[in-house]
Chain A
Amino acid sequence: MAWLRERIPLDGDQLREMSNEPVPNHLKRWWFALGGTPAYLFIVQIVTGILLAFYYEPSPRTAYGSVKYITDTAAYGWYFRSVHKWGATLMIAAVILHQMRVFFTGAYRKPREINWLIGMCLLACTLGAGFTGYSLVYEQLSYWGTTVGANISASVPVVGPFMKAMMLGGDTYNERTLPRLFMVHAAILPAVMLGLITVHIALIRLQGVTEFQFKDEPADKPKTFPFFPDHFYTELSVGLVLMVLLSALATILPATLGPHADPLSTPEVIKPEWFF
């Protein structure tokens, strides 16, 4: 301990000072903890995503086979793939719910407009990660979903064709499309989101959370409670509950694998993921 202390000049009091942001009482109400949920799920996505990337091979000839290997052969591969998929689903839902609570409580008003915009960018990035992630599986719907998505971007005036070419790495879906989508999915979007989340949280700490007084609370009650250990423990428990929920969903409804992509025939039923 002393050895570490000498090299990292931080003591318990300073740590407490740094982490002990007083948390407004209303955060004891669960719907205000919705902001912490996407953050936790983001970490789950990073961890499971890195695990999947150990076996995933981004090229049209190998992608589907490698996802099949993850699903059928690798030990617990089905579990990590399913948690990654359910993590994405819950994350998109949590971001939208978080945004709805901010909207309906008017917490986006001055001086928090910038954070509202950052939140919007985070939603866009999350949807982008969901879209590119699903493309990686290279099953029929991945392929046609990507193709249709690229053509929708192409219909944007002026920049559309440029966007489509950037997305596909060519005029149409080709050999170099999957590696590109993989880099966007596994490196660029996570890095951008990490930056946005950092600024998002920094702004929250600078401005404080919008405080609310609820009718059923005595007015003289202290308005805040300490971040540590109270709120920290809440977040730990939320994390545990989410992990158990993800594992249950992954076991009951594991991620499936449709037929291999066929660029020569469009499936009869083609619908995007629920969030689009």
Chain B
Amino acid sequence: MMTPDDPESQPPPMGDNEPSSPSWLIGEVAATPAHAPDAAVEKIDRRDFLARATSVAMGASLVAVYGAFAAMAGRFLYPARPALKGWLYVADVAGFKRGASLSYTAPDGATVAIARPGEAGKVEDFIALSSTCPHLGCKVHWEGQNQRFFCPCHNGAFDPSGRAIAGPPQEAGQSLGKYPLRIDGGLLYIEVPLEGLPGPGEA
């Protein structure tokens, strides 16, 4: 922003009695005729000071008003909150035998592979694997004949426990994400996002 006391921004004098600083800002002072020579010197000083003060005030208001506006716009554009999550029922623990697995579809359409590798019937014996590849986010799918999850994007592969065994995810030592599970009154629950984009079949 240019200010009136910035030498770059001074306009060429337009006429003899044209004040070179914005006269509307300091109109009264500028218009006051100087009576004595030394009073005139003082007037110039005061005029100078007032011009400077008004530019500072102007600069401050510009920054305050448009700065606040820009900050609000930034907050407005930043996503409001993470997607809503909730606990949903999956299966009866008693009916979910060791070694069994099922494919669960969350409300946001994501497929979750849920398996029971352990015996005891505690939460730790169940596993719920995300179908989102930890590499760059493509969807993996289960390959029964190879006993692995496969990601078509860069040929990533994961064993049944979700550990990467091939491709970029293995090089990076990644695993498939896990969803939180909970057992309550003999029933298995999973915490999943409640909203998302529908697939072509839904909507």
Residues of A bordering B, CB below 8 Å? 12, 16, 20, 22, 28, 47, 51, 54, 73-77, 79-80, 221-222, 224-226, 228-230, 233-234, 236-237, 240, 243-244
Contact status B76-A229, CB under 8 Å = no
Q: Check: B35 CB closer than 8 A to any chain A CB.
A: no
Within 8 A of A (CB), among B60-109: 61-62, 65-66, 69, 72-73, 75-78, 80
B29 to chain A, nearest CB (A): 15
Looking across the interface, which residue of chain A has its beta carbon closest to that of B17?
A: A222
- Of A77, A221, A230, A244, most buried by chain B (CB within 10 Å of CB) is A230
Contact status A236-B18, CB under 8 Å = no
Main secondary structure of the interface of A (DSSP, over half): helix
**Contact (A22, B14) CB under 8 Å given A76-B72, A79-B72:** yes
Residues of B bordering A, CB below 8 Å? 2, 4, 8-9, 11-12, 14-15, 17-18, 22-25, 58, 61-62, 65-66, 69, 72-73, 75-78, 80
**Contact (A28, B76) CB under 8 Å given A12-B8, A229-B4:** no
**Contact (A236, B58) CB under 8 Å given A75-B76, A75-B78, A77-B76:** yes
A242 to chain B, nearest CB (A): 10
A221 to chain B, nearest CB (A): 8
A-B contact count (CB 8 A): 68
Bound complex: CA A162 to CA B203 (Å): 34
Looking across the interface, which residue of chain A has its beta carbon closest to that of B54?
A: A233
Contact status B18-A240, CB under 8 Å = no
Bound complex: CA A225 to CA B21 (Å): 11
**Contact (A240, B62) CB under 8 Å given A228-B9, A233-B25:** yes
Contact status A222-B65, CB under 8 Å = no
Interface CB pairs A-B, < 8 A, 28: A16-B12, A20-B11, A28-B24, A51-B73, A51-B77, A54-B76, A54-B77, A73-B80, A74-B80, A75-B72, A75-B75, A75-B76, A75-B78, A75-B80, A76-B72, A76-B75, A76-B76, A222-B14, A222-B18, A225-B23, A226-B18, A229-B9, A229-B22, A233-B22, A233-B58, A240-B61, A243-B66, A244-B65
Interfacial chain A residues near B76, Cβ < 8 Å? 51, 54, 74-77, 80
Contact status B77-A230, CB under 8 Å = no
Interfacial chain A residues near B8, Cβ < 8 Å? 12
B55 to chain A, nearest CB (A): 9
